[in-house]
Structures are given as C-alpha cells and as structure tokens.
C-alpha cells in the first residue's frame, strides 16, 4: 500500500495520549489522514497532537454527554467523519476472587461502556455516507485472561458488541471491526521494570513459546500502524465483523 493510503480520510482516535493510540496519532497524519485525538489526559493529549499535526479534544469515554460533545466537536473540525479508531482502555489486574465491585465497574465503564458510547456517538455522522469503526478488542475477550478477569469480561463485551453492530449497521455501509493487539508500549516497559530478574526470565520464556513470529510483543510503528491504516482505508471496504489479531500468531481466530 502507498504511505499516503489515508489521504483525505477524517479520523477520530480515542486514547490518543498514550500507548498504541499515541502511536496512531503520531503516524496516521503522515499517511495523509486528518486526525482528532480524544483522551482524558489533556496535557499529554495536547502535546502529542501538536507534535503530530493533529488536534486534541478532552473526553471522558464513560460519560455520554462528554462523548457526544467531543465527537460532535471533532466532526465539525474535520468537516465530516470517515473513521473512528477507539483505542481508549484500561487493564486493571487482580485475582478473580479479589476484584472489588469498584474495579469491576471501572473496567466495564472504560472498556465496554466507552466502546458503546463512542460507537453510538459517531453513528449519526456515518449513517448517510458510510465509514469505518475500529474498536480495540483483545485476546483476553476471546480466551480469557487469568488475574485480569474484569478486563477480559469487558473486552468480551466489546467483541460481541462489535460483531452485533457490524450486522445492524452494514445496511448503512458502516463496517465495524475489532483489533486484538499484542504490542510493546511504554506501559509494558513499566510492567517489565517492575519484575524481578527471575520473573522477567519466566515472562520472556512464556512469550517466546506463545508468539510464533519473533517470540515477543510487536512494534507499534512496524507491526501495528500499517494494519490499522489498512483497516481505516477504502481498501478494507468489504471487511466487517472481524476480530483481527495483530499479535505474531498468538490468537488464531476461527
């Protein structure tokens, strides 16, 4: 594909102040897209957007009024909308028996309700001319995630929601897919830094066994951005309702 395959595409990216969302905000303008980044972190979001040739709007993805207002502002600035990339999410951890009700509600609110609200908010802007929604799913939502059961449950909801609206909204030429990434991020660096040498050795051995391609998490720029760019482009116009693992072969979907 051309490195300008997103020329003229108007895209909203949520979670644009960190991690994979930040990587997309930085990379997609270079591929021709006009980007509005949405995040709760105003300082980081503004800085990254300015550095990348994008714009930023603060949003709380768990709050309907905040989401509707931010999306409407973004669409007005962009002069329309072609794609929503919903990357915002959190992954709190705890043993299943120790998960507090507060942590459960938080995981559901950000990951599942945030997907629901952002997708609903862009629907009026896409229904007359079509477009694309890319939600962030997870292998956790397909096969579970021990010690992060609330996160896994929320991502399971994202998977089911994504497939459901792909059917419902297909008549409007809106395609809806989910990305299930296993990508190296700064947050993952912090996780690694918190491990003892023994834990890190065991962790790396497990990754080597679980990831056929390379034995470690993928790189944002090399492995992740090109896939998302394709699914945000017109080249993917006949693909919907899919969960696309970008993970070196860890999750082989059926």
Q: Active-site positions? A: 151
Q: Which residue has the tokens 């297909």?
A: 170
The phi and psi torsions of 181 (rounded to 5 degrees) equal -95, 150
CA-atom Rg of the chain in angstroms: 18
Here the tokens at position 179 are 């990305």
């Amino acid at each position: 594909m051309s490195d300008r395959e997103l020329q003229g595409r108007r895209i909203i990216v949520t979670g644009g102040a960190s991690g994979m969302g930040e990587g997309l905000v930085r990379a997609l303008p270079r591929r021709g897209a006009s980007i509005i980044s949405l995040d709760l972190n105003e300082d980081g979001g503004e800085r990254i957007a300015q550095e990348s040739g994008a714009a930023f709007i603060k949003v709380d993805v768990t709050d309907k009024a905040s989401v509707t207002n931010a999306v409407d502002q973004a669409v007005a600035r962009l002069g329309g909308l072609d794609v929503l990339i919903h990357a915002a999410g959190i992954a709190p951890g705890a043993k299943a028996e120790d998960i507090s009700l507060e942590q459960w509600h938080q995981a559901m609110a950000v990951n599942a309700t945030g997907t629901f609200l952002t997708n609903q908010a862009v629907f009026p802007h896409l229904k007359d001319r079509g477009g694309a929604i890319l939600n962030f799913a997870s292998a956790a939502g397909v096969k579970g995630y021990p010690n992060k059961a609330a996160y896994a449950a929320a991502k399971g909801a994202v998977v089911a929601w994504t497939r459901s609206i792909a059917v419902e909204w297909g008549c409007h030429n809106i395609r809806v897919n989910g990305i299930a990434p296993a990508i190296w991020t700064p947050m993952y660096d912090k996780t690694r830094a918190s491990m003892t040498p023994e834990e890190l050795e065991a962790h790396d051995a497990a990754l080597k066994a679980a990831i056929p391609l390379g034995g470690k998490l993928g790189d944002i720029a090399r492995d992740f951005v090109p896939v998302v760019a394709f699914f945000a482009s017109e080249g993917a116009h006949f693909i919907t309702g899919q969960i696309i693992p970008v993970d070196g072969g860890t999750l082989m979907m059926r």
